């Protein structure tokens, strides 16, 4: 049975696996759409390469998607299932369910 540390490390790995390709896709879309960093303020000498500035969209989508997936799992799986697959997390399921509304407002 996984411990809380293992669950957190697993979530970090899943975040990386989801976020990295999503960032690459959003970056490529930014280049195709011409959504690049601006030249800056008047008098600012900017001699850098054109860089897409929409990577934050991918980071937000990764965080929001995994958060929504966690909320969905908390509401769809019963307590018995949680205690079998992640006993360290099963004690927090009711608390996760109780903060669903503020979490959705945050998103």
* Model confidence, pTM: 0.75
Residues of 14-52 as b/e, b for ≥16 C-beta within 10 angstroms?
eeeebbeebbeebbeebeeeeeeeeeeeeeeeeeeeeeb
Q: CA-CA distances (angstroms) from residue 57 to 12, 22, 27, 105, 106?
A: 18, 9, 9, 18, 16
Per-residue model confidence as pLDDT tens digits over 57-102:
899 999 999 999 989 999 999 888 988 888 888 888 899 999 999 9
Asked whether 71 and 96 are in contact (CB, 8 A), the reply is yes
Per-residue model confidence as pLDDT tens digits over 19-62:
999 999 998 898 888 887 766 666 666 666 677 788 888 999 99
Largest CA distance in the chain: 64
């Amino acid at each position: 049975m996984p411990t809380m540390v293992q669950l957190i490390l697993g979530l970090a790995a899943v975040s990386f696996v989801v976020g990295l390709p999503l960032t690459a896709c959003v970056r490529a879309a930014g280049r195709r759409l011409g959504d690049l960093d601006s030249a800056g303020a008047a008098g600012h000498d900017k001699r850098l390469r054109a860089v897409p500035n929409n990577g934050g969209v991918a980071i937000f989508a990764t965080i929001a998607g995994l958060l929504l997936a966690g909320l969905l799992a908390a509401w769809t799986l019963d307590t018995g299932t949680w205690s079998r697959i992640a006993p360290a997390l099963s004690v927090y399921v009711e608390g996760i369910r109780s903060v669903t509304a503020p979490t959705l407002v945050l998103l």
